[in-house]
Amino acid sequence: MNKYFTLRRATLLLALTLPGLCWGFGPPPKNALIVTETGSVYQTDVNAVTAFLSGRLGAAGYTVTTNVGVPAGSLSGYNQIWDIRFDVVLSGPDITAFVTYMSGGGALFAMGENGGCCGTRDASIAALITAAGGGTVVLSSNSANTQTVQAPFTGPVTLTTVTFAAIGGFTSPGHGAFITEDTGTSGGAIVLGPGTMSNAASGTMLSVLDVNFMDTSGSGQGLSQALTDNLIAYLGAPTVISTGPPVAPAPPSAILVLIGLGAITLYFARRQRTA
């Protein structure tokens, strides 16, 4: 009898324990933060973008937290951060927090707008990129509204072109690359993928200088769920993006020295044999 009850107790304990072990082997939770604002003259647009983006992140499997301003403390618990404050200048503490976040492998999106309304915001995004070691981006007030989407942002939702509404512009992406282009040297959206920011080498940053592509309010134009979904997908699994044709490396100087020493040694060895 004792053995029978011992076996039943062991079986019951195993039945209670296994579900917990199985849960432990599931995929880790995915968390996203939306940094927003209050009191903006564009608050209707801000609220519309927040609602739309929350829905798209949720559809992609993320638990979404919304916060007014950059929250204090570590941001490392978030897989993606979306700063949609397109008319708010990034402060020094904001820039420090974002560089720290990206240096730990974080994935950041920073919204901008055209230079007519939000040039100071765009300049602060450029300052963030410089602080992260992503080179010097060059801004222009506007770029053309219809732009060609660059790989890998052409998927997973098939997308070849996107039409913005009064989008700002970059004429140089720094160490990054264009997400969308209106010409070969101008576009309204850029990416700095892994390895492009010297102070945040494992981090990723995207910036689009247009709010309307996520704006579902009455004043919003150029809404693009496809581009939004593709940006979310890239931030979830960022890849290295080539910014130009590979350059064949020159032989390291140490190798050249060894080749020279080898030639000298062979020369003297031959002289000794013929002496």
Mean per-residue pLDDT of the chain: 84
Place of tokens 């993320």: 62
pLDDT band at 4 (very low <50, low <70, confident <90, very high): very low
Share of residues in the chain with pLDDT > 90 (%): 73
CA distance 135 to 126: 9
In this structure, are residues 210 and 117 in contact, taking their beta carbons and an 8 Å threshold?
no
CA distance 30 to 272: 71
Tens digits of residue pLDDT in 167-176: 999 999 999 9
- Rg value, the chain, Cα: 26
Share of residues in the chain with pLDDT > 70 (%): 77
* All structural domains of the chain: 27-236 (3.40.50.880)
- 252 versus 147: the higher-pLDDT residue is 147
Instruction: List, in order, residues 6 or more apart from 154 with CB less than 8 Å away.
Output: 160, 230
Tens digits of residue pLDDT in 89-138: 999 999 999 999 999 999 999 999 999 999 999 999 999 999 999 999 99
CA distance 85 to 95: 14
247 backbone φψ class: left, alpha, beta (φ>0; ψ -120 to 50): beta
3-state SS string for the chain:
CHHHHHHHHHHHHHHHHHHHHHHHCCCCCEEEEEEECCCCCCHHHHHHHHHHHHHHHHHCCEEEEEEECCCCCCCCCCCEEEECCCCCCCCHHHHHHHHHHHHCCCEEEEECCCHHHHHHHHHHHHHHHHHCCCCCEEEECCCCCEEEECCCCCCCCCCCEEECCCCCEEEEECCCEEEEECECCEECEEEECCCCCCCCCCCEEEEECCCHHHCCCCCCCCCCHHHHHHHHHHHHCCCCCCCCCCCCCCCCHHHHHHHHHHHHHHHHHHHHHHC
Q: Is the pLDDT of residue 217 over 90?
A: no
Q: Is the pLDDT of residue 198 over 80?
A: yes
- 16 versus 99: the higher-pLDDT residue is 99
pLDDT, residue 243, reads: 67
Q: Is the pLDDT of residue 251 over 70?
A: no
* Omega of the bond leading into 249 within 30 degrees of 0 (cis): no
pLDDT, residue 221, reads: 65
pLDDT band at 269 (very low <50, low <70, confident <90, very high): very low
pLDDT, residue 157, reads: 97
Give mean pLDDT, residues 258-271: 37
Give mean pLDDT, residues 245-269: 36
pLDDT, residue 184, reads: 83
- 178 versus 241: the higher-pLDDT residue is 178
Tens digits of residue pLDDT in 225-250: 999 999 999 999 999 987 643 333 33
Tell me which of 7-16, 125-134, 186-195, 205-214 is least confident: 7-16
pLDDT band at 19 (very low <50, low <70, confident <90, very high): very low
pLDDT, residue 242, reads: 72
pLDDT, residue 98, reads: 98
